[in-house]
Structure 1
Amino acid sequence: MAADDPGKSTPSDKYNLFRTIHSAMRHLNYDHLVAGVCGGVIATLSLHPLDVIKVKFQVGDGHFSNRPNFNGLVQACKSTTQLNGLRGFYQGVIPNMWGAGSSWGLYFFFYNAIKANFQAGSNQPLGPTKHMTAAAISGVCTLTMTNPIWVVKTRMILQTTKTGEMVVSAPSYNGLLDGLSKIYKYEGIRGFYKGYAPGLFGVSHGVIQFVAYEECKKAYNKFRKQSNEKHLSAIEYICMAAISKTFASSTTYPYQVVRSRLQDPHIAQKYDGSIDAIRKIIKYEGFRGFYKGLTPNLIRVTPATCITFVVYEKMSYFLKKRRT
């Protein structure tokens, strides 16, 4: 009988699948989405200039384009000021704000829903394996939904008002919506997912960061002999966020360099995908090429993450307290 065929789904199987999905959906909490968006937006507005410098370091290959190859932060800042003035430090800030806000919001949104589903009503902290699983699933979902915004952000940062850094034949973007429409017009849907493959590798960054953050909180609360759900001070959250972010950034930074190269329309055609980009970076720049812009990145992402996590923790606590 068909019902005995293990290769076919039965009404009971479909009901169990629906029940599982419904169970996960019940744990979606929009407080985490709002708190994550607030944290991402505030951190981005505070530290966007360092993100501009980081991206310019990443795409300066010195071989396939006339992008300048900076020797330090001071030279990069002088070049940006000469080409675009002080406004140059805020190129791409709108898509970056949208991207960071939506990414953090969605990440916390999915992450906490998956965690709650794993806990099934228990207050016991999860182990590293389940934290890794929750972070990985959240990372893939978030990247898939936000990658088009990151493509526009990278390209807007690399636009200049003079021709000293770029090939002027590429279309310029007047904003996020204009960038999205032009990418769709000239490159189609595939244009929205330039750099998606190295971005998937970058999911490991979120996994490492969130596992380290959760384990830091768990170890600290155990040391203080207090509940894992206890609301901590801003300084305590800052220390844990800084440790986890520095560790994650240092170990996974190379994927960001590869992604930036593939998203830059002026040098992307020189690389035949992620593997080819990795080979050429090693050949022409050595392994140091994978860490271009690491210093401004660490200077930016460490305080940015601290701001994001503190705002998130405080905002989610406030919303939860207000709701209950």
Structure 2
Amino acid sequence: MLWHTENAVAGIVAGFVTTTALHPLDVVRTRFQVQDGHDAVVPKYRNTANALLSIARIEGLRGLYAGLFPAVLGSSISWGLYFYLYNTTKSWNRRWRGEDLGAGLHLISATEAGALVCLVTNPVWLAKTRLQLQGPGLGVHKPYAGFADSLQRIVKEEGWWALYKGLGPSLILVSHASLQFMAYEEGRKLALDLRRFYHSGDKKEDVCLKPSDFAILGGLSKVFATLVTYPYQVIRTRIQQRPLRDGRVKYTGIWHTSAEILKHEGATGFYKGIVPSLLKNVPASSITFLVYEMVLKLLQKQ
């Protein structure tokens, strides 16, 4: 296949599988992220297990899978487009440099791809957040009937620009994927070198990584990127909330949101929801990279 189409297909399959399997933890993470201690939007869940049980009891399966369609759509588009653009920009940078890429150019390639994906998918993530913050368990009416209705109502009530609420922190969060891909690529090279060292008697081209290696590297790279960039995920979720009934917007931008969190919640407020986030995203990342590498290998044999 030309122009890294196989990378896009592998990314789409990987994104679909992981998002569908682990979506309830994404709902929990989003709800924890907006618990700001005043003007409560969601109930006060004690921990991740309590949140899952409470949502299941009050809202049923639909509550645990609120916003699933935009999550699957956004994830599939994001991973497919990201892997496609990332491998394309890597090829361009490799031709420009005429050598293997190091950590710096892996970071640049991932950042270029991430910024483009961010511009395409922000409205989808906005709709997902809004859908995850409504339901009978939240004590508010459900203003949105579904994905398409949420986009239409947001545009009608808040204007076209509202579809890009949270774009600022989203662009900053491009660094999350950039750091993860840099860590994954560098870890991949190190793991391959170690395998070649321990199998020095074999031909160099016969030594390759195992599926378990891809899963471990995918998980570890996600932990690294999450710990560094998580505060911006909280900021983005707060900004993307639906305006209050009187039309007020609780959080107006990155600096205002950061100041409010620090004032009312302290530094720990920037890490609300990190436990369900890691519980969802670390295995999701392991599965994503494992599925991606396996599907890519299968497609390249065609």
Task: Report the TM-score, using the length of structure 1 for normalisation.
Answer: 0.85
Q: In structure 2, what is the Cα distance between the partners aligned to 1:122 and 1:228?
A: 24
Aligned residues with identical type, % of pairs:
39
Q: Deviations over 1:265-308 (max 9, x none)?
A: 14681122111000000000001111111011101000101111
2:102 is the counterpart of 1:131: no
Q: Deviations over 1:15-52 (max 9, x none)?
A: xxxxxxxxxxx973211111101000000111001111
Q: In structure 1, what is the Cα distance between the partners aligned to 2:194 and 2:224?
A: 22
Tell whether the 8 Å contact from 1:62 to 1:69 is kept in structure 2 after alignment: no
Which of these residues, 73, 81, 97, is aligned with residue 56 of structure 2? 81
Tell whether the 8 Å contact from 2:126 to 2:240 is kept in structure 1 after alignment: yes
Q: Classify the secondary structure of the residue corresponding to 1:270.
A: coil
Residue matched to 1:217: 188
Residue matched to 2:283: 303
Deviation (angstroms), 1:240: 0.8
| Structure 1, unpaired ranges of 5+ | 1-25
Deviation (angstroms), 1:250: 1.1
Which of these residues, 159, 166, 187, is aligned with residue 158 of structure 2? 187
Which of these residues, 126, 129, 134, is aligned with residue 159 of structure 1? 134
| Structure 2, unpaired ranges of 5+ | 197-202
Alignment of 1:28-43 (within 5 A): 28-43=3-18
Larger-gyration structure (1/2): 1
Alignment of 1:1-324 (within 5 A): 28-120=3-95, 125-160=100-135, 162=136, 165-168=138-141, 172-225=143-196, 232-266=209-243, 269-322=249-302
Q: In structure 2, what is the Cα distance between the partners aligned to 1:287 and 1:27?
A: 47
Q: Deviations over 1:113-169 (max 9, x none)?
A: 011112229995311111011011111000000000000011111110x2x52543x
Q: Classify the secondary structure of the residue corresponding to 1:269.
A: coil
Q: In structure 1, what is the Cα distance between the partners aligned to 2:24 and 2:252?
A: 30
Q: In structure 2, what is the Cα distance between the partners aligned to 1:177 and 1:53?
A: 23
Q: Classify the secondary structure of the residue corresponding to 1:224.
A: helix
Q: Classify the secondary structure of the residue corresponding to 1:53.
A: helix
Q: In structure 2, what is the Cα distance between the partners aligned to 1:204 and 1:233?
A: 28
Q: Classify the secondary structure of the residue corresponding to 1:159.
A: coil
Task: Report the TM-score, using the length of structure 2 for normalisation.
Answer: 0.91
Tell me how large the CA RMSD over aligned residues is.
2.3
Q: In structure 1, what is the Cα distance between the partners aligned to 2:266 and 2:16?
A: 35
AA at the equivalent of 1:235: S
Q: In structure 2, what is the Cα distance between the partners aligned to 1:42 and 1:266?
A: 33
Q: Classify the secondary structure of the residue corresponding to 1:256.
A: helix
Cα distance change, pair 212–57 in 1 and its aligned pair in 2 (3 A): same
Greater mean alpha carbon deviation, residues 93-102 or residues 177-186 = 177-186
